[in-house]
Amino acid sequence: MKGIKSHAILLFSVLAGIFALSIYGLLSGDIPTEFNDVYHALLDYSDQDINQVIIREIRLPRIMMAIISGAALSVAGMLMQTLFQNPLAGPYVLGINSGSSLMVALGVLSGVGFFNSELGLMGSALLGAFVFGLFILFTASFLRNQIGLLLFGVMLGSFVSAIITILEAGSQAEALKSFALWSMGSLNNVTIEQIPIILAVFIVTCFLTFFIVKPLNILILGEEECRLMGYDIKKIRILIVFITALFTGLITAFCGPIAFVGLAVPNLTRMLFKTQNHMLLLIANLLFGSFFLLTCDITIQLFSDVLLIPINALTSLIGAPFVIYILIRKLR
């Protein structure tokens, strides 16, 4: 009971932190704004007031995207780690992001109109993530070693980046510029008009995840137990890959690749909550992931006058040492 209470306090604290950071993010920036501007920008918007425009069109989509991306990538990482029973698994490390990147590169650099549209970009990223997810799932059945799977992901990433380099060499300057900018990763490119679509896909995918919480809990016990409980293990695995692809593809399509969130946050939540209850882990990852990426974003905004840090660089700066720490712990 005491555990549940402390978990609840921790989760509510993080939720409060997200709320506080969001308000701070809406109020702070290069142009001074007041709470009144935030109120009007959210509830009584006028596009003639520059402060309101800045809040509604620039700060609000960026903050919302940080919340959604952090949550989505963290849950995707949690699903990967449970699926492969490997704390080093994550959409970026295993190369699921690479699948999205490859498909987006094929679409953008080919110059075919449909792939350059919003829908085409999202579809490409989702398809790439799903196909690569299935490929990793298939390969994982031959790899018993956890480090081996990680190395496979790294190799897959290198292979894809080689293909992308070849594609870039033969592409037109404009397409190359678009792809290069996308591949930098950014929370700033999403518009307020795109937020409802992103939010809708995110919420639907979250619901799907809640539906597989029970099989996820049983999957931890092993395949045999899962079968004995009457679950079709193959179907569950494919469903997990599909959900991961939805989360990863959605974020990669709109923000470009964002590294290490999906690896660092699920490990952090497992360390903090010391549980295999996926309902708790799912909620924790949603909240901690949002909090983590929002903190990264606010940090970048705070230091933007001194140093320009892309979001991907900051998440890697924090995430990579964390992976090394986990690796050392495992190798011991």
Partner 1 sequence: MKFLFFGFVLLLFSCGTKPDDSQIKDSENLCKYSKWIRISETKDLVRIEIINPDDPSQVVQLQLPNFKSKKNKSYTYDIENPIQRMAVLSSTHIGMLGELNLIDRIVAVGDLKYVHNLRLKNKGPLELGEEQLISAEKIISSKAQVIIYNGFSNQFPKQELLHKLGIQTIPNYDWREVHPLGRAEWILLFGYLTGNADGAKKKFEEICTNYENIKNRIRSKKSILTLSGNMTGDYWYAPAGESYHAKLFDDAGLSYVFSNEKGTGSLSLSFEKILGITNHVDLWLNPGFQNKTEILKTHPKSRLLKPLKLSSVFCYSHNTNKYWELSACRPDLILLDYAEIKKGSQMDPDKLFFYQRVQ
CB of 30 to partner 1, least distance (A): 4
Find the shortest distance in angstroms from Cβ 193 to partner 1: 8
Residue type, 258: I
CA-to-CA dists, residue 155 to 93, 95, 158, 198, 238, angstroms = 10, 8, 5, 31, 23
Q: Which is nearer to partner 1, 53 or 197 (CB)?
A: 53
| Minimum separation from the CB atom of position 187 to partner 1 (A) | 8
226 CB-near residues (< 8 Å, 6+ apart): 215, 218, 219, 233, 236
Nearer to partner 1 (CB atom), residue 179 or residue 202 = 179
Nearer Cβ to partner 1 (61/77): 61
Instruction: Report the alpha-carbon angle 247-249-254, nearest 5.
Output: 105
Least Å distance, CB 290 to partner 1, is 20
- Least Å distance, CB 174 to partner 1, is 6
Q: Which is nearer to partner 1, 165 or 188 (CB)?
A: 188
With b for 16 or more beta-carbon neighbours within 10 A and e for fewer, the 185-206 pattern comes to: bbbebbeeebbeebeebbeebb
Residues that bind partner 1 (CB under 8 A): 29-31, 50, 53-54, 57-59, 116, 173-174, 177-178, 181, 184, 186, 188-189, 191, 194, 300-301, 304, 308, 310-311
CA distance 112 to 92: 27
DSSP annotation of 304 reads T
Q: Which two tokens stand for residue 84?
A: 């492969």
Nearer to partner 1, 180 or 279 (CB): 180
Nearer to partner 1, 108 or 280 (CB): 108
Taking alpha carbons only, the member of 16, 49, 17, 21 closest to residue 33 is 49
Least Å distance between CB 188 and partner 1? 5
